[in-house]
Structure 1
Amino acid sequence: MELHDIRWDLPDPFTMTIEVREEDTDRLGHANNVVYVRWLEDISWAHIESLGMTWERHEATGRAMAITRTEIDYLVAANAGDRLVLGTWLTDFDGRFRSARQFQLVRPADGKTLVRAVSSHACVNLQTQRPARVPAEYGEILGGAVVAGGRGLDHIGPRD
Structure 2
Amino acid sequence: MTELNWHLPTPFIQLWTIERDVIDHYGHVNNVAYISQIERLAWAHSNTLGLTIEQYKALDRGMAIKRHEVDYLQACHEGQTIACATWIIHCDKRLNLTRQFQFICTQRQKTVFQARTEFVCIALSSGLPKRMPEVFSKTYGDALLSNNEIA
Tell me if TM exceeds 0.5.
yes
Residue 94 (structure 2) aligns with? 96
Amino acid at match of 2:106: P
Pairs aligned (count): 149
Q: 1:38 aligns with which of 21, 24, 36?
A: 36
Residue 13 (structure 2) aligns with? 15
Whole-angstrom CA distance in 2 between matches of 1:95 and 1:26: 39
Amino acid at match of 1:131: P
What is the CA distance between 1:22 and its match in structure 2?
Answer: 1.2
Residue 157 (structure 1) aligns with? none
What is the CA distance between 1:59 and its match in structure 2?
Answer: 1.3
Give the fraction of aligned pairs with identical amino acids, expressed as a percent: 34
What is the CA distance between 1:55 and its match in structure 2?
Answer: 1.2
Whether contact under 8 Å (1:63, 1:124) holds in the other structure is: yes
Amino acid at match of 2:111: T
For the aligned residue pairs, the C-alpha RMSD in angstroms reads 1.2
TM-score by length of structure 1 reads: 0.90
Amino acid at match of 1:30: H
Amino acid at match of 1:123: C
Distance 1:150-1:118 versus aligned 2 partners, 3 A rule? farther
Whether contact under 8 Å (1:73, 1:117) holds in the other structure is: yes
Aligned-partner SS, 2:118: strand
Q: 2:145 aligns with which of 147, 154, 158?
A: 147
Whole-angstrom CA distance in 1 between matches of 2:134 and 2:112: 36
What is the CA distance between 1:150 and its match in structure 2?
Answer: 3.6
Residue 114 (structure 1) aligns with? 112
Alignment of 1:33-112 (within 5 A): 33-112=31-110
Alignment of 1:123-138 (within 5 A): 123-138=121-136
Aligned-partner SS, 2:102: strand
Whole-angstrom CA distance in 2 between matches of 1:9 and 1:98: 22
Aligned-partner SS, 2:99: strand
Aligned-partner SS, 2:26: coil
Aligned-partner SS, 2:75: coil
**Which digits, 9 at most, give the CA deviation of each residue in 1:125-158, with x for residues without a partner?**
011111100001111011110113449xxxxxxx
Unaligned runs of 5+ in 2: none
Whole-angstrom CA distance in 2 between matches of 1:83 and 1:93: 30
Whole-angstrom CA distance in 2 between matches of 1:79 and 1:72: 19
Whether contact under 8 Å (1:104, 1:115) holds in the other structure is: yes
What is the CA distance between 1:12 and its match in structure 2?
Answer: 1.1
